[in-house]
């Protein structure tokens, strides 16, 4: 392949540009849809991993008939006795249903004596006086909660109705910053005793107990020890949570891909038909080239380079458009498939993640059917006899 | 429902493999025709058509080789990314052994790549002869490749549909590491003996390449490949991970070790495959010399230097051996 070959190839492409244009446009569209979906799913997976990283390794709670019940707080003292367990945190949280519209908030209690939870909270919101926050009737709310409350004319505070029928007035002290929206959108953080009251727990009950085990080799061992403590104890570890998220998003994008397969099959059938047609009109030209001394291999190379350039061009343009669509314009419409807007409206901005796995997946899914569709038409035109073509 | 089948990479991988098979089938039919009817001295219409169709076979095979090569890397990558979904797996080792098909599948893939390289050498010798002397051999080889690809495709589907995500698998350190004192090395070798043999065989391989003793070369390179696998898993690998108990051929493919495994295994397998195909095809076509001995030598040397350099760097940094 010398310079003359490339020059000829570019001339050829330019001359026949109207023939290739439709194919390039369809290809770009296909790649754009495909890569937008894959970009969104990999970006969400990345944000989930980031939010899961600081989460506790284990969570235990009391199970009754397979359903979570309020957990006695004494269990956390028993945990301290197990060697290798750190950062034991009893947690109080639950859903508070906002009656009129059937929406719900996630309420999280923060313990005044737990250094750990303070630190993470302080990291989350730097400009807040923790002590003042924990002593009064205050709460920190997520972005979605704030919007929802404002819409219902609760600008500064909200009156919670406890299961006992009492009203508690709680002030909004702060709004959680945007970066953690995926998880904190419908979240309300308040002092633990207040949370107990709102959710209807007694003083010596918590929702569950979280703790860390720094040595991952000990995880299964610790799990066995926990299960022997009480008969009604249930354990969930972080890997299980991670796995179920992974499965969920795999399921969503996998389902899309399976439907996309039909599309790509149709596309390659169209390609096959079209190239058969296009090349049959080029027979004379190829015959001329062969008569001028080109070998079959030369013609094959020319035609393959031609389709390869088409593939690469539309691949790059398609990915580029998808990048802009997803990461700069935040994928309007398409993101609802992934983020389900059932409860409070969530508006996440996607963190740009482009990894080799996604890029190579897109390339394989598009390039392999493309080349397979054109290989036979290309061969058919390349072996044209010069004499036959000229007649 | 099987969660594995919804993984994006698995879907794309299986689709590509199946589509390739359709194309291969066309080439297979043509190859059979060539084996039965090829006669270069004939001037019949049929022979001319066959000569044209032979171009289709070679085009398809070249494409097949490129995609198979990409798919092998993609497969390893996929397996690695699946390790998060399967209980107990921490790298590809656990996922491959999740059912009985995985190991055979990986072996089949390597063998197919090797035979495809052999086909390439035959093809290049063939196109250099004016009268396509080796067309029948080439087609026979292609038919062999096709049959092994049928098996591979069967294994592909069997493997991915039979992974149970709830049943825990063993992680690499239980598969390769803790054998309770049993010696995992072949022929009852010890590590120092293995290393001596490793370097000796490396020099023998290069020597036989340089002096063109082809049969001896093939034997020594095959032995080298076999021992190099054990040397990497049980000795060089521990220096890559900087942990004497970590013995695994898969973990070095992960980002934690800067994907060095792809280069290490890639240079070893490619070097060996290219060399052996070169030697075999030159014997088969009764030629005198090996074509690309320099390429083979540089690949194998890259492999040996890369694996040794981890040991040396570790020693210079810490002043002790593992």
Residue B177 φ/ψ, nearest 5 degrees = -90, -70
Does residue B167 fall inside a structural domain?
no
Which of A31-35, A47-51, A109-113, A192-196: highest mean pLDDT?
A31-35
Same domain, B186 and B288: yes
Instruction: State which of B161, B186, B202 marks the end of a domain.
Output: B161
B166 occurs within a structural domain: no
Cβ of A376 and B9 within 8 Å?
A: no
The answer to whether residues B132 and B187 belong to one domain is no
Residue B254 or residue B197, greater confidence = B197
CB contact residues (below 8 A), chain B span 57-76, against chain A: 59-60, 63, 67, 70-71, 74
Same-domain pairing of B129 and B195:
no
Q: Let me know whether B181 and B290 are in one domain.
A: yes
Residue of B nearest to A296 (CA): B55
Question: Per residue in B56-71, pLDDT tens?
Answer: 998 999 999 999 999 9
Residue B142 lies in a domain: yes
Task: Identify whether residues B129 and B53 lie together within a single domain.
Answer: yes
Give the domain ranges of chain A: 3-51+244-390, 56-237
Note the pLDDT of residue A125: 58
Q: B161, B186, B219: which is the final residue of a domain?
A: B161
Same structural domain, B156 and B202: no
Residue B35 lies in a domain: yes
Do B154 and B227 belong together in one domain?
A: no
DSSP A311-360: HHHHHHHHHHHHHIIIIIS--TTTHHHHH--SSS---PPPP----HHHHH
Average pLDDT over all residues of chain A? 81
State ipTM: 0.86
pLDDT of res. A209: 84
Q: Tell me which of A338-342, B74-78, B79-83, B216-220 is least confident.
A: A338-342
Of B3, B12, B20, the CB nearest to A247: B3
User: Do B150 and B208 belong together in one domain?
Assistant: no
Please give, rounded to a whole number of angstroms, the shortest distance from the CA of B70 to a CA of chain A.
9
CB contact under 8 A, A375 and B59: yes
Say if residue B9 is in the same domain as residue B142: yes
pLDDT digits (tens, 9 = 90+) for B183-199: 778 788 888 899 999 99
Would you call A81 exposed, middle or buried from its count of C-beta atoms within 10 A (0-12, 13-18, 19+)? Answer: exposed
Domain membership flag for residue B168: no
- The rounded distance, in Å, linking the Cα atoms of B162 and A243 is 19
Question: What's the confidence (pLDDT) of residue B177?
Answer: 67
Whether A379 and B22 lie within 8 Å, measured CB to CB: no
Q: Which range among A27-31, A128-132, B74-78 has the greatest average pLDDT?
A: A27-31
Q: Are residues B156 and B205 in the same domain?
A: no
Give B-chain residues touching A41 at CB under 8 angstroms: 8
What 3-state DSSP class applies to B319?
coil
Q: How far is A369 from chain B (nearest CA, A)?
A: 7
B52 with A257: Cβ contact below 8 A: no
**Residue A142 Cα, gap to closest chain B Cα (Å):** 30
Q: Across residues A250-276, what is the average pLDDT?
A: 88
pLDDT digit string (tens) for A299-319? 888 888 988 999 999 999 999
Residue finishing a domain among B131, B161, B191: B161
On whether the CB atoms of residues A299 and A290 are closer than 8 A, the answer is: yes
DSSP SS3 for B190: coil
Q: Are residues B104 and B236 in the same domain?
A: no
Q: Which domain holds residue B107?
A: 4-161
Does B289 share its domain with B145?
Answer: no
When divided into structural domains, chain B yields a total of 2
Amino acid B296: pLDDT: 92
Q: Is residue B125 part of a domain?
A: yes
């Amino acid at each position: 392949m010398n310079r003359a070959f490339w020059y000829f190839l570019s001339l050829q492409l330019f001359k026949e540009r109207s023939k290739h244009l439709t194919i390039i446009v369809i290809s770009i569209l296909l790649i754009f849809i495909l890569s937008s979906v894959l970009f969104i799913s990999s970006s969400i997976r990345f944000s989930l991993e980031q939010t899961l990283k600081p989460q506790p390794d284990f969570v235990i709670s009391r199970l009754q008939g397979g359903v979570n019940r309020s957990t006695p707080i004494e269990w956390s003292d028993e945990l301290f006795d197990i060697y290798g367990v750190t950062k034991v945190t009893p947690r109080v949280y639950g859903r508070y249903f906002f009656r009129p519209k059937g929406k719900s908030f996630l309420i999280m209690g923060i313990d005044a004596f737990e250094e750990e939870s303070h630190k993470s909270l302080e990291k989350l919101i730097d400009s807040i006086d923790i002590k003042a926050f924990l002593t009064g009737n205050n709460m920190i709310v997520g972005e979605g909660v704030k919007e929802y409350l404002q819409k219902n004319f609760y600008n500064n505070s909200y009156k919670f109705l406890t299961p006992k029928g009492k009203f508690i007035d709680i002030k909004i002290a702060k709004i959680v910053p945007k970066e953690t929206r995926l998880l904190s959108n419908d979240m309300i953080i308040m002092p633990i005793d207040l949370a107990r009251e709102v959710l209807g727990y007694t003083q010596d009950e918590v929702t569950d107990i979280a703790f860390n085990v720094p040595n991952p080799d000990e995880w299964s061992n610790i799990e066995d020890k926990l299960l022997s403590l009480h008969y009604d104890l249930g354990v969930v570890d972080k890997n299980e949570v991670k796995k179920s998220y992974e499965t969920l998003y795999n399921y969503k994008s996998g389902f899309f891909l399976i439907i996309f397969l039909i599309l790509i099959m149709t596309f390659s059938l169209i390609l096959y038909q079209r190239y058969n047609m296009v090349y049959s009109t080029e027979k004379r030209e190829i015959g001329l080239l062969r008569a001028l001394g080109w070998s079959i291999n030369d013609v094959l190379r020319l035609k393959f380079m031609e389709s390869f350039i088409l593939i690469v061009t539309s691949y790059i343009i398609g990915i580029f458009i998808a990048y802009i669509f997803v990461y700069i314009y935040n994928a309007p419409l398409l993101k609802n498939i992934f983020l389900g807007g059932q409860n409070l409206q969530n508006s996440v901005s996607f963190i740009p993640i482009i990894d080799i796995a996604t890029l190579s997946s897109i390339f394989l899914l598009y390039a392999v059917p493309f080349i397979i569709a054109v290989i036979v038409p290309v061969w058919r035109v390349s072996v044209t006899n010069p004499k036959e073509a000229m007649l | 429902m099987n969660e594995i089948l919804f993984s994006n990479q698995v879907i794309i991988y299986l689709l590509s493999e199946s589509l390739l098979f359709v194309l291969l089938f066309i080439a297979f039919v043509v190859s059979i025709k060539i084996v039965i009817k090829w006669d270069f001295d004939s001037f019949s219409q049929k022979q001319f058509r066959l000569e044209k169709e032979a171009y289709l076979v070679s085009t398809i095979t070249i494409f097949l080789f490129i995609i198979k090569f990409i798919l092998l890397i993609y497969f390893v990558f996929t397996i690695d990314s699946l390790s998060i979904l399967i209980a107990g797996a921490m790298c590809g080792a656990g996922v491959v052994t999740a059912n009985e098909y995985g190991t055979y599948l990986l072996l089949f893939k390597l063998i197919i790549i090797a035979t495809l390289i052999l086909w390439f050498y035959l093809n290049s010798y063939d196109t250099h002869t004016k009268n396509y002397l080796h067309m029948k051999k080439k087609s026979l080889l292609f038919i062999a490749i096709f049959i092994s690809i049928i098996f591979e495709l069967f294994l592909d589907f069997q493997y991915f549909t039979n992974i149970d995500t709830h049943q825990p698998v063993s992680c690499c350190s239980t598969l390769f590491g803790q054998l309770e004192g049993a010696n995992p090395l072949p022929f009852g070798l010890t590590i120092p003996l293995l290393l001596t043999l490793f370097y000796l065989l490396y020099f023998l391989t290069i020597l036989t390449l340089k002096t063109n003793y082809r049969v001896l070369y093939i034997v020594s390179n095959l032995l080298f490949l076999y021992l190099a696998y054990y040397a990497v898993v049980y000795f060089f690998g521990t220096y890559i991970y900087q942990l004497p108990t970590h013995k695994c051929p898969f973990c070095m493919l992960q980002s934690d070790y800067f994907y060095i495994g792809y280069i290490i295994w890639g240079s070893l397998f490619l070097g060996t495959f290219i060399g052996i195909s070169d030697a075999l095809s030159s014997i088969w076509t009764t030629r005198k010399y090996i074509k690309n001995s320099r390429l083979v030598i540089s690949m194998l040397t890259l492999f040996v230097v890369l694996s040794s350099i981890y040991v040396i760097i570790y020693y210079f940094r810490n002043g002790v051996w593992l």
